[in-house]
Amino acid sequence: MKIAIGGIATESCTFSPLPTQLEDFRILRQSDAQFDSLYPFLADHPQVDFHGTITAKALPGGPVEASAYATLKNDMLNGLRSLLPLDGVYLDMHGAMNVQGMDDAEGDLISAVRDLVGRDCPIAASYDLHGNVSQRIMTQLDIISGYRTAPHIDTIETRARTMSLLLRCLQAQTRPHKAFVQIPVGLPGEKTSTEWQPGNGIYAAIPGEIDGEHVWDATIQVGYVWADEPRMTACAIAIGSDESKIIRAANRLAQRFWDRRAEFQFGVEALSIDGCIRRALAVDAGTVLISDSGDNLTAGGPGDVTAFLERALEHQPADMVYAGITDEAAVRACLEAGTGGEVALALGGKLDDRNSQPLPVRGEVEFIKADADNPQVVLRLGGIRVLLSARRTSFQRRQQFLDLGILPEQQSIIVVKIGYLVPELKAMATGGSFLALSPGAVNQDITALPFRRIQRPCYPFDADMRWTPNAQLYSRCAGKTE
């Protein structure tokens, strides 16, 4: 069997003024050393001839520039064209990409793949659980399966499961039916983590809907809420050979999610910026982690909103690490001053001028990481050390702090531009953690954001609405059923 692998994956905040450009994508090909680390399970199928086209991934940001998307799409399609005929296609997606001037970018890409490979070639896609699924996508895909954890610790497992479902189609020469129901709920990921209830219990129920024979797989998509487009919503999906059973499975999952919609809450105490700082200062021991959630880079925030830092400077904590601010001009000025040099800067507020203005500061350059692609600097402002990056950088790993001369365990307060804490950051929070309800493109107060194009009614925008799930059946794309 000959199977192609490809994908274009990012998460696009339509409220961000910062477009995602071609240079923001990390493009991997089969010849790259990192390719095998994404798909280690391919070695389990020596009888299959796998061919990588391109796998392009970008840090969440604003809408993708149309020209960048066109370049990536054409590159992937040309790679597929050179491999024809194909027995199957696996697409490694995210599911919440927005392209300037286009809704449902994944629907556009998957439709183009379908037009190229034909109706007899099964197409499977793995999704982040924060992807937004449309009817167009369900029509064109044979298989779709999503993550079941947030933070995402099952990425490889999900890719492997999706590939196994594709191989099942090929080996048995069959295609599954698909049941899909959009759930009119839009919630931020910070409330829908699977590390606490009700998300934990809702996702734990998914395997119970899968019998392996009649229902092959089932998925719940929380969706990505900071996308002002019609497909922004949660959904439930089931695929399998028995139409009635997959419809019932999708409806049950959707009903379970809907029934508990009002129970989704933040997993840690969520306070104002000042409230978080005061609570952190009152902790006697350990390291406190604070999420500057409104400018969360992992959800699409530009990464240079200074609201939290401005308030922190008013409090003047004796020991705080602020990670960080994206500001290429400020980094260059620090590099010119050198370690120990004093600089006066208008910091941040350049990428997201809707939610922030440059903050005048004067400080000392404490540490320089001279990286050709992304130089970084530690700027000391009294008791606050600000981590500056030339390129948008999400600080999620302990090693990133060590590389800048900072031992996380010795810090009293660390602030990160993130939402819920990924496992490595959570392990660092020995003194507890808080979520700051800060301003930015991915503001947690979603009902206050200027949505214009989402489908209504939708919870929590229409808090009193009523709804009953009614899954839509999508027959197989081609081939035969079991």
Convert the pLDDT of each residue in 289-312 to its tens digit.
999 999 999 999 999 999 999 999
Q: Which helix (H) or strand (E) holds 277?
A: helix 273-281
Over residues 460-478, the mean pLDDT reads 92
Question: What pLDDT score does 477 carry?
Answer: 75
Residues in Cβ contact with 293 at an 8 Å cutoff, skipping those fewer than 6 apart? 190, 270, 418, 419, 435, 436, 437, 438, 440, 442, 444
pLDDT digits (tens, 9 = 90+) for 116-168: 999 999 999 999 999 999 999 999 999 999 999 999 999 999 999 999 999 99
Q: Is the peptide bond before 457 cis (omega within 30 degrees of 0)?
A: yes
Q: How confident is the model at residue 111 (pLDDT cuts 50, 70, 90)?
A: very high
Q: How confident is the model at residue 255 (pLDDT cuts 50, 70, 90)?
A: very high
Residues in Cβ contact with 391 at an 8 Å cutoff, skipping those fewer than 6 apart? 326, 328, 373, 374
Half-sphere exposure of 292 (CA within 13 A, CB side): 31
Residues, the chain, total? 482
| Model pTM score | 0.96
What's 394's DSSP letter?
Answer: -
Question: What pLDDT score does 60 carry?
Answer: 98
Residues in Cβ contact with 316 at an 8 Å cutoff, skipping those fewer than 6 apart? 382, 383, 384
Over residues 235-254, the mean pLDDT reads 98
Question: What pLDDT score does 400 carry?
Answer: 98
Question: What pLDDT score does 481 carry?
Answer: 43
Q: Does the pLDDT of residue 444 top 70, yes or no?
A: yes
3-class state of residue 24 by DSSP:
helix
Contact 257, 183 (CB under 8 A): yes
- Put residue 354 in one of left, alpha, beta given phi > 0 → left and psi -120 to 50 → alpha: alpha
What's 220's DSSP letter?
Answer: E
Place of tokens 């937004």: 132
Question: What pLDDT score does 229 carry?
Answer: 97
Q: Does the pLDDT of residue 479 top 70, yes or no?
A: no
Q: How confident is the model at residue 480 (pLDDT cuts 50, 70, 90)?
A: low
Question: What pLDDT score does 478 carry?
Answer: 64
pLDDT digits (tens, 9 = 90+) for 174-214: 999 999 999 999 999 999 999 999 999 999 999 999 999 99
3-class state of residue 427 by DSSP:
helix
pLDDT digits (tens, 9 = 90+) for 66-99: 999 999 999 999 999 999 999 999 999 999 999 9
Over residues 352-368, the mean pLDDT reads 95
Contact 258, 467 (CB under 8 A): yes
- Put residue 340 in one of left, alpha, beta given phi > 0 → left and psi -120 to 50 → alpha: left
Q: Does the pLDDT of residue 57 top 90, yes or no?
A: yes
Task: Calculate the average pLDDT of the chain.
Answer: 97
What tokens appear for 266 in the block? 């933040």
Over residues 6-33, the mean pLDDT reads 96
For residue 479, the one-letter residue type is: G
Report d(CA 240, CA 215) in Å as an integer. Answer: 4
Q: How confident is the model at residue 482 (pLDDT cuts 50, 70, 90)?
A: very low
Question: What pLDDT score does 475 carry?
Answer: 78
| Helix axes 273-281 and 307-315, enclosed angle (nearest 10) | 40
Over residues 314-322, the mean pLDDT reads 97
Report d(CA 442, CA 15) in Å as an integer. Answer: 7
Report d(CA 304, CA 255) in Å as an integer. Answer: 40
